Structure 1
Amino acid sequence: MNFSDGSFWILTVIIGILILLVGWLGKEYGKNQVQAPIVELKALFNKLNDSLTKLLDFMARQDEKNLNTNNQIQLLWNKISSMRLEAEERGSIFADIKHKVNNLEAYSEELEEKYQENKLSILRHDEKIEDLNNKFFEHLNNK
């Protein structure tokens, strides 16, 4: 039990005072041979003792509930923290992948442009070769 608020000491003092009161009353009434008030006082003391026991049990259960609640809060906080770290890690991985995809797209466009340029260059070379072949055959035919 956690009695950090001082309730344990207050209860202890109350019980001690009641014990002293019962002892003193017993001594005083014992002198006068009057037993009825002592019996009533003992019954009241027993009821008070039962009530205090129930109160202490209740306080112990509340402390246990608070401890369980604190543990659950701590577990949730740990889970949230790990999920946040995981999300940050995934975010950085996603950003890295996105950057690489963008680089690949740019490289792909660059390769496509070079392919088109090479294709045009080959077509021009083919035309030049065809022109040279035509000139060669014309030259042969003219001789």
Structure 2
Amino acid sequence: MAFHLHRLGLSTTSLRAAGLSRDLARSVREGRVSLGAADTAWLYQNLALDDGQLTRALTDDERAVWDFYRVSARHPVAVWQNAATAWRPHLSASDVSAVIGHSRRTIESVVAGKTRRPVLTYEPASRLAEALHLEAGADAFISGLPPHPR
């Protein structure tokens, strides 16, 4: 469910507006708890979603996106630093900025460990990996990092 909430752009604030408590909304959003059928139906109604949008199985592509995001969110600075190690011999920070859509200043701050945000997500990481002609694709940036526990 957490992936589908993320995919649909539904934040903890959205879940709170639908009537969940702050702690429950955060736990559902972060995938730490599962909701039963009755609670899920209630959520569909309060978020004005069609049945199945939050509970359908992930496609293989969605699973790859979600697995990348979970590792990247758990180790954001390490992922950015791995990406920087790959791009520095080939691209400037300005070039990387144009490829992934974050400002050069933001990129430099997170690579330096001054901040943990933004998390490098799959789509911009894939664009960067493609620009660098990395055979492993975006997964090159999370290689060697422990996976997020399911």
TM superposition score normalised by structure 2: 0.19
TM superposition score normalised by structure 1: 0.19
